[in-house]
C-alpha cells in the first residue's frame, strides 16, 4: 500500500457539520487495517519499486467500486442507509494509487422510502448528499469530462465518476436520463438483476431482451455521453444492448462464466460481442463472485484466473478491473441484503467455500497495489499493465464521452 497522497489533507466526511446534532452518527469500520495485509505476492525490492512507479505514474482507473465506509456493525447498515449520508473513504482512497474511481453509490440498498431500493427520490438524495460532502474538500474531484480525468492525473488528486448500476429509477421517463446527466452521472447500467422497463436482469428465468423503451434509453445515453454497463443484465439483454448502442459497451464488474458457471458471470458470447464493438470487461472481486476451480476460496488468485481467461479470449486491449469493493464487512453486507442484491439467484445453485473477506482485494485502498504486484510477478510488461489498469477504460471513455 502507498503512503497517503500529498494532496490529501485529512478531511473526513461531513466534518463541516456537527456530528450528533446535524446528523446521526454510527461507529464506522476502519478504512485501513480491518483485515491482515495480503502477503500472497512476494516481491523483491526491484519489483516493489516497479509496482510503486506503475501505480503512481500510470492512469489507474477502477471501473466499479463503492468507496464509502460502512458501519462497523454491518447490521446497522439499514439505518445508516436511511440517512442517505454515506461517508466517503477519503483516507483509504488517498492510499489507493487510483487516478479515477467509478463510484456506484448504494442505490440498490438505499431504502429511504422503500425496502426494494432503486426509487427516483432515493437516488437523487444519495447523489445530492454525496456531492455536498465532496464539495467541501479538494482532494476528490467530481469527474464529468475527459479534462477532469486529466486534471486528477496531473494534480495527483482522485477523480470520482458518479455511476449507477441500473436505470430502474427512470421508470418509463426517458428524460430522467438527461436529469441524471445534469447531476453528473456518466455511467449507468441497464438492469440490476430484476427486470425493469429497459430489459431483463440476470436473476430472471427468461430474458426477453432489450425492450423498445430500452432501445430509446440506449440511444439517449449514447447522445448524452453516458457509458452503458450490462454487468447485471441478462444475456440476451446484454447482447441487444451491445447491438443497439452506437458506442462501445462496458461490462464494468463481472467475470467469465466459462471459469465459474453462475448467472453473475458473463458467457463468452457476451464478452466477445462487447470486445468486438470496442468495449471492455472489468474483473469483479465482490465476495464469492469470481471464483475458479483452481482457487475456490475467493482471493486475488481467483480473480486473476478470470483475468487470464478473458485476456486469452478477447485480447489484453479489452480487459480491465472493476473490483466492486467497499470499506467494511462486504460479506456481512451481502448477508444483510441478500434479497435486494439477488445473492441466491446470482450464485445459481453453485456451492462454494464462504470466506470472511476476499484476500488481497478487501477494500479500495489495497486493490491496485496487489493487482499490479501480481501482474509484475507474473511477467506482464509495463505497456500491458498500463492498459489493463486504466488505459483500456480511458480509450473507451474517449469515444463514449465525446
And the C-alpha cell for 144?
A: 464529468
Q: How many CB atoms lie within 10 A of CB 224?
A: 17
**Grouped pLDDT means (10 residues each) for the chain, 402 residues:** 87 97 97 95 96 97 97 93 94 97 88 84 94 97 98 97 97 98 98 95 93 98 98 97 98 98 96 98 96 96 98 98 97 77 59 92 97 98 98 98 88
Task: Tell me whether residue 247 is in a domain.
Answer: yes
Is residue 213 assigned to a domain? yes
What's the CA gap between 217 and 174, in Å, rounded?
6
Q: Give the chain's domain count.
A: 1
Comparing CA positions, the residue from 112, 105, 62 lying closest to residue 87 is 105
Q: What is the domain extent for residue 194?
A: 53-400
19 touches 25 (CB < 8 A): yes
Distance CA 157, CA 137 (A): 11
SS (H, E, C) the chain: CCCCCCCCCCCCCCCCCCECCCECCCCECCCCCCCCCCCCCCCCHHHHHHHHHHHHHCCCEEEEECCEECECCHHHHHHHHHCCCCEECHHHHHCCCCCEEEECCCCCCCCCCCCCCCCHHHHHHHHHHHHHHHCCCCCEEECCCHHHHHHHHHHCCEEEEEEECCCHHHCCCCHHHHHHHHHCEEEEECCCCCCCCCCCECCCCCCCCCCHHHHHHHHHHHHHCCEEECCCECHHHHHHHHHHCCCCCEEEEECECCCCCCCCCECHHHHHHHHHCCCEEEECCCCCCCCCCCCCCCEHHHHHHHHHHHHHHHCHHHEEECCCCCECCHHHHHHHCCCCCCHHHHHCCCCCCCCCCCECCCCCCCHHHHHHHHHHHCCCCHHHHHHHHHHHHHHHHHHHCC
Q: What are phi and psi of 68, to 5 degrees?
A: -110, 165
Q: Assess if residue 169 is contained within a domain.
A: yes
pLDDT at 57: 96
Rounded distance, CA 304 to CA 260, Å? Answer: 12
For 222: left if phi > 0, alpha if psi spans -120 to 50, otherwise beta; the answer is: alpha
End-to-end distance of the chain based on CA atoms, in angstroms? Answer: 34
* Residue 96 included in any domain: yes
Between CA 169 and CA 149 the distance in angstroms is 27
Q: How far apart are CA 130 and CA 245, in angstroms?
A: 30
In a domain, residue 20? The reply is no
Q: Looking up cell 458471470, which residue turns up?
A: 265
**Is residue 314, in this structure, part of any structural domain at all?**
yes
pTM equals 0.96
The CATH number of residue 296's host domain is 3.20.20.140
pLDDT of residue 348: 64
Does some domain include residue 4?
no
Residue 131: exposed, middle, or buried by beta-carbon count in 10 A (0-12, 13-18, 19+)? middle
CB 88 within 8 A of CB 134: yes
**What confidence score (pLDDT) does residue 115 get?**
80
Instruction: Tell me the C-alpha distance between 15 and 401, whole Å.
Output: 33
CA distances from 182 to 105, 171, 175, 177, 380 (A): 17, 18, 11, 9, 40
Amino acid at each position: 500500500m502507498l503512503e497517503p497522497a500529498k494532496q490529501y489533507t485529512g478531511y473526513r466526511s461531513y466534518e463541516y457539520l456537527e456530528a450528533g446534532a446535524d446528523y446521526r452518527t454510527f461507529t464506522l469500520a476502519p478504512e485501513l487495517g480491518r483485515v491482515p495485509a495480503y502477503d500472497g505476492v512476494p516481491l523483491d525490492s526491484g519489483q516493489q519499486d516497479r509496482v510503486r512507479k506503475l501505480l503512481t505514474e500510470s492512469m489507474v482507473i477502477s471501473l466499479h467500486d463503492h468507496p464509502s465506509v460502512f458501519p462497523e456493525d454491518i447490521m446497522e447498515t439499514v439505518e445508516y442507509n436511511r440517512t442517505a449520508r454515506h461517508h466517503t473513504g477519503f483516507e483509504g482512497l488517498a492510499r489507493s494509487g487510483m487516478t479515477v474511481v467509478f463510484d456506484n453509490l448504494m442505490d440498490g440498498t438505499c431504502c429511504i422510502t422503500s425496502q426494494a431500493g432503486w426509487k427516483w427520490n432515493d437516488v437523487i438524495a444519495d447523489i445530492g448528499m454525496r456531492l455536498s460532502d465532496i464539495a467541501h474538500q479538494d482532494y476528490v474531484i467530481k469527474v464529468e469530462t475527459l479534462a477532469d480525468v486529466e486534471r486528477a492525473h496531473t494534480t495527483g488528486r482522485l477523480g470520482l465518476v458518479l455511476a449507477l448500476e441500473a436505470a430502474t429509477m427512470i421508470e418509463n421517463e426517458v428524460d430522467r436520463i438527461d436529469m441524471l446527466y445534469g447531476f453528473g452521472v456518466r455511467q449507468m447500467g441497464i438492469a440490476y438483476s430484476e427486470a425493469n422497463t429497459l430489459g431483463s436482469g440476470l436473476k430472471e428465468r427468461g430474458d426477453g431482451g432489450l425492450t423498445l423503451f430500452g432501445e430509446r434509453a440506449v440511444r439517449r445515453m449514447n447522445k448524452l455521453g453516458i457509458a452503458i454497463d450490462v454487468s447485471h443484465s441478462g444475456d440476451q439483454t446484454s447482447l441487444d444492448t451491445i447491438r443497439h448502442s452506437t458506442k462501445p459497451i462496458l461490462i464494468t464488474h463481472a467475470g467469465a462464466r466459462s471459469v465459474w458457471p453462475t448467472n453473475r458471470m458473463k458467457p463468452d458470447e457476451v464478452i466477445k460481442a462487447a470486445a468486438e464493438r470496442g468495449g471492455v470487461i472489468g474483473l469483479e472481486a465482490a465476495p464469492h463472485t469470481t471464483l475458479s476451480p483452481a482457487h475456490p476460496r475467493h482471493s486475488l488468485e481467483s480473480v486473476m484466473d478470470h483475468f487470464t481467461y478473458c485476456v486469452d479470449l478477447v485480447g489484453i486491449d479489452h480487459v480491465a478491473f472493476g473490483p466492486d469493493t467497499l470499506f467494511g464487512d462486504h460479506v456481512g453486507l451481502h448477508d444483510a441484503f441478500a434479497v435486494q442484491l439477488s445473492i441466491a439467484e446470482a450464485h445459481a445453485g453453485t456451492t462454494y467455500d464462504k470466506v470472511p473477506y476476499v484476500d488481497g482485494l478487501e477494500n479500495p485502498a489495497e486493490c491496485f497495489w496487489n493487482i499490479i504486484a501480481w501482474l509484475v510477478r507474473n511477467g506482464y510488461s509495463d505497456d500491458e499493465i498500463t492498459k489493463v489498469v486504466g488505459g483500456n477504460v480511458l480509450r473507451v471513455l474517449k469515444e463514449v464521452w465525446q
